[in-house]
Amino acid sequence: MSVRLVMLGAPGAGKGTQGERFAREHGVPRIATGDILREAVQKGSELGRAARAVMEQGRLVGDEIMIGVVKDRVRRADAAPGFVLDGFPRTVIQAEALDGMVDDRTPLVVVDIEVPEDVLARRLSTRRICSVCGTTAQSNDVVCLKCGGALVQRRDDNAAIVLERLQVYEQETQPIVDFYRDRATFRSVDGDQTQDAVAADIAAAVASVLGVRS
């Protein structure tokens, strides 16, 4: 099944976990902006050098660089059958640019994983990240089940700043949701369920969209 899927959701909503699962089950790459930025920097491409210069100054990478990095990635052969985007778009400018990157042969499906704020806060305050491979774990374990690396709490996952992060997300991301909401290819799913239930709802949402044009 050819699919182009954009995953939206607040920190802690599970879009990374669900995006990786959906991509694996459908044989398409999960394109996470953090991963492809690091790759571009490591390769020393023109965009990578520009991104490194921005990040070394402690600033966020802007629309122009992010759009260029994503455009390069979705043009690779492995993304021809489709892809799952995680972390892009984050601005309306990026969303408009994404429309220009894809053709009309396969709809661009947008799924927003909705989770109540109190649930998100609880998830983030207990979330652990592997210090080696970056895998996210919702447990009190100290070892990553994927690679054996040590699980640690992210500095920005402590309770003091979790609510602030969620408020910033709401302010910055609502325009993206509004940009897509009226499209026939937009779906919302309930993220306050088991991972299997959320995955099933996402699969059903995508299946309901295929063949529908925005």
* Positions marked active-site: 15, 90, 127, 154, 165
> In what order do the strands lie in the sheet containing 30-32?
30-32, 82-86, 3-9, 108-114, 186-190
- Asked if 67 contacts 60 with a C-beta cutoff of 8 angstroms, the reply is no
